[in-house]
Structure 1
């Protein structure tokens, strides 16, 4: 197997193929990642979501409908805990474009966010200033887009963006990293022609118990769950399900999208969906 490793969107990508990816496809992969980042990164001054943060309308960035329609479903399923306008809450806690990591007062996201944010295949509009953040499912969507670029590559393919991955053409065993000790695993998942995404409070953490998994209703980090993993037909839905199961109602969202999941609480308990494909090492 050939391994192509590079940095993009703040994480390490690893693309594993049976033969090396040619230069033309590598350029296309980088182009797809850059276009997505220019559309949706709140850490770039030149991105579309940065340009619109003061309000107004712009041409819709790539995948606006696919992602924001699913955000609406996530929001409904979790009683508003997941919300694409939670960017302001993250900024208030110090997870801002400059990575100041200096927390201020918590700032809940607008509960009626669909009144503020409007989207179609042509336009993206904010009725008032707000910071859009698609972190609940955006990286998963980008993994899917990169995998689609490689559709013509023969043999097994694994696209892994910092632990959010999709595979095609063979079985893959993936260790579920312990959120408090990366040298340990809480289990192993087995996937074939599917995607697995993970989320945890140990990555992108700062200050006194602050991290990037935010309850949009309070503007505060979640406290009950330490890590989640989800398997679905594609990385968009795996990423969304991994976010959803941090909150009440997330299990129903995952079931609707045929997503298996595992989650570990902050006191070390493990829960999983029925028939999760793999083995867990910790007792439920």
Structure 2
């Protein structure tokens, strides 16, 4: 097997498997299409067009992602919301990466009235900035993984630590959110997906980072890092986001997703079925 490394959607990818040039071209085209549809950092993207004038975004990804957002929003009392893009921009995490913070802006809480969707499209009835950061990378990992279904043997699709694997088990460390040279535990991933999120990634200014409570537009302060395991990367990614809020563990239980999270004061919680090893003494079981 070979490892193909490249940068896309603002992260480092590593795909390990017996890919040929046709496989690589298919993956590159798929990622470009997804980015052109859903990236709020591209002026030519469909979501940038919706942010300016509303309208229709033709995409088979709309229904899976927005259905999951509806579940996330319901489970977290509205803390997770796909219209959080305007809130991120207000704090400086905008298309130009100004990283200059203004006043916090709550996301529209009527997002499911502004945005409607069907199997092949999303429609914005008014200008609205969609941000799929809560689960979009996981969705793209799943799409790439599916595109490589015909590749024989073991396969690893890793997008900046959000990964899905087939075949031989992959032993993966859970990076300590306060010290990247350390791990808080390890897990063996086999025929499934692992996704994580942490407030030390995409952080800027005075305590600002990318995980916002959509109800306030403010960064979360209680939890520092989360990880989730599932058969599919999008569901793992979605739960990893939900775990920063009340209701996250309940959603994980409903979906059958195992998880770990670490608070900003160093305490660790995990699901009862978490299969990995944790190096911290007596993590709380939830």
TM-score w.r.t. the length of structure 2 is 0.97
Query: RMSD across aligned C-alpha pairs, in angstroms?
Result: 1.0
Which aligned runs of 4 or more in structure 1 are off by greater than 3 angstroms?
A: none
CA distance in 1, matches of 2:257, 2:40: 28
Paired residue secondary structure (1:108): coil
CA distance in 2, matches of 1:104, 1:130: 19
TM-superposed deviation, 1:59: 3.7
CA distance in 1, matches of 2:193, 2:252: 13
TM-superposed deviation, 1:233: 1.1
2:264 equivalent among 246, 263, 266: 266
8 Å contact from structure 2 (residues 54, 128) kept in 1: no
TM-superposed deviation, 1:217: 0.3
TM-superposed deviation, 1:237: 0.3
> What does the per-residue CA deviation read over 1:179-229, in whole Å, with 9 as the maximum and x for residues that have no partner?
111110000012211100000000100000000000000000000000000
| Aligned pairs for 1:175-254 within 5 A | 175-254=173-252
TM-superposed deviation, 1:123: 3.3
8 Å contact from structure 1 (residues 254, 260) kept in 2: yes
8 Å contact from structure 1 (residues 195, 235) kept in 2: yes
TM-superposed deviation, 1:13: 0.2
> What does the per-residue CA deviation read over 1:46-85, in whole Å, with 9 as the maximum and x for residues that have no partner?
1000011024312423400000011001000000000000
8 Å contact from structure 1 (residues 60, 119) kept in 2: no
Paired residue secondary structure (2:119): coil
CA distance in 2, matches of 1:53, 1:242: 26
Paired residue secondary structure (1:52): helix
Note the residue ranges of structure 2 that are not aligned, 5 or more in a row. none
1:151 equivalent among 149, 152, 155: 149
Tell me which residue corresponds to 1:256.
Answer: 254
With 151-160 and 126-135 compared, the bigger mean Cα shift is at 126-135
TM-superposed deviation, 1:148: 0.8
Tell me which residue corresponds to 2:6.
Answer: 6
8 Å contact from structure 1 (residues 224, 265) kept in 2: yes
> What does the per-residue CA deviation read over 1:157-193, in whole Å, with 9 as the maximum and x for residues that have no partner?
1100000000011211110001111110000012211
8 Å contact from structure 1 (residues 36, 62) kept in 2: no
> What does the per-residue CA deviation read over 1:138-173, in whole Å, with 9 as the maximum and x for residues that have no partner?
000000010111111111111000000000112111
CA distance in 2, matches of 1:3, 1:122: 33
Q: Does 1:118 align with 2:116?
A: yes
TM-superposed deviation, 1:100: 0.2
Tell me which residue corresponds to 1:25.
Answer: 23
Task: Count matched residues.
Answer: 282
Paired residue secondary structure (2:52): coil
8 Å contact from structure 1 (residues 92, 106) kept in 2: yes
8 Å contact from structure 2 (residues 37, 57) kept in 1: no
Tell me which residue corresponds to 2:107.
Answer: 109
TM-score w.r.t. the length of structure 1 is 0.97
Tell me which residue corresponds to 2:275.
Answer: 277
1:42 equivalent among 40, 58, 73: 40
Note the residue ranges of structure 1 that are not aligned, 5 or more in a row. none
